[in-house]
């Protein structure tokens, strides 16, 4: 668990989707690997932010000097599960200059005129970058499947196409971390009600949110298929309990920290003559 001190047990294997995984069996309110309170979790998030920022800077530094590696975080979830909070409170702690964030919305006409992976390629992280997909190509087998936005054959084809795409990224140096924030249907109801009750939250609600909610079970089934078919050794899925926002944040932060620690990033050696440059600077 590297430099983080606050985990009772490494959450990585506890959250990872492996053989026989059943989404329906997972507790959305649990805090796997963490024994503390909400207050402890908030302190942990601040501690982890400094660790994550340091590791991300090392990755970026390496990238400037020829290291081709990168990290890609894929975020998927039902509405209100807390993706926005992850982006603000976890991703936002890193230096934006090295973060490539992409929020995928309803595809444009131009995007629909191409294969579903076309728009995604444009946003994959480059050398030294941490890419963040806020929604992703998985929408094309989630809402795509639930709402029948493509023929059945095409939906079936996409799972393997996704695996091939992610293998291509992994083989060329991208560590892929895929996260589903796992919310209960009851907690979603509370959060949507909150949006309808508060004037400063009305804009976050659209009638489509309830339309999607009415298809809850179909979405859960579609996620199960995603996990069955696309959780691979080179691009594993993690299911993070999300009823407690503070836990989801430290968990996703940990997954990023873990991915970066695995890269064993040293500060790169300078590619210039240190003594010569010190002399030039002194004379300037």
Which residues bind to its own copies, rule: CB under 8 A? 53, 61-62, 64-65, 84, 87-88, 91-97, 99, 101, 103, 132, 134, 189, 192-193, 196, 199-200, 202-207, 210, 213-214, 267-270, 272, 274, 277-278, 280-281, 284
First to last CA, the chain: 46
Nearer to its own copies by C-beta: 84 or 148?
Answer: 84
- Least distance to its own copies, CB of residue 164, Å: 28
Burial of 182 per CB tally in 10 Å (0-12, 13-18, 19+): buried
Nearer to its own copies by C-beta: 72 or 192?
Answer: 192
- Least distance to its own copies, CB of residue 102, Å: 10
List strand residue ranges (DSSP E) for the chain, in order: 70-77, 99-103, 130-134, 174-182, 237-241
Nearer to its own copies by C-beta: 36 or 85?
Answer: 85
Report the distance separating Cα 232 and Cα 190, nearest Å.
34
- Least distance to its own copies, CB of residue 196, Å: 5
Nearer to its own copies by C-beta: 31 or 188?
Answer: 188
Residue 98 DSSP class: G
Nearer to its own copies by C-beta: 129 or 166?
Answer: 129
Q: Which residue, 244, 240, 247, 206, is CA-closest to 223?
A: 240
Which residues lie closer than 8 Å to 145 by C-beta, 6 or more apart? Answer: 155, 222, 225
- Least distance to its own copies, CB of residue 176, Å: 20
């Amino acid at each position: 668990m590297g430099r983080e001190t606050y985990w009772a047990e490494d959450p990585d294997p506890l959250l990872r989707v492996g053989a026989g995984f059943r989404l329906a069996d997972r507790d959305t309110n649990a805090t796997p690997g963490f024994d503390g309170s909400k207050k402890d979790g908030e302190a942990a998030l601040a501690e982890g932010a400094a660790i994550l920022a340091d590791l991300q800077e090392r990755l970026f530094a390496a990238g400037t000097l020829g290291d081709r590696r990168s990290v890609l975080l894929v975020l998927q979830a039902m509405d209100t599960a807390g993706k926005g909070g992850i982006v603000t409170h976890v991703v936002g702690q890193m230096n934006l200059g090295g973060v490539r964030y992409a929020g995928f919305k309803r595809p444009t006409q131009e995007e629909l005129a191409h294969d579903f992976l076309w728009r995604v390629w444009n946003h994959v992280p480059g050398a030294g970058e941490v890419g963040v997909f806020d929604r992703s190509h998985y929408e094309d087998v989630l809402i795509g499947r639930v709402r029948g936005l493509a023929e059945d054959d095409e939906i079936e084809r996409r799972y393997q196409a996704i695996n091939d795409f992610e293998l291509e990224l992994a083989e060329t140096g991208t560590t892929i971390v895929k996260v589903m924030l796992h919310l209960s249907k009851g907690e979603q109801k509370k959060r949507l009600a909150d949006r309808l009750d508060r004037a400063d939250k009305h804009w976050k609600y659209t009638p489509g949110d309830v339309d999607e909610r009415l298809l809850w079970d179909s979405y859960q089934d579609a996620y199960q298929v995603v996990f069955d078919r696309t959780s691979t050794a080179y691009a594993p899925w993690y299911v993070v309990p999300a009823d407690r926002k503070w836990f989801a944040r430290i968990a996703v932060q940990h997954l990023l920290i873990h991915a970066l620690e695995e890269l064993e990033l040293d500060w790169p050696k300078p590619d210039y003559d240190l003594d010569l440059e010190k002399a030039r600077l002194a004379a300037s």
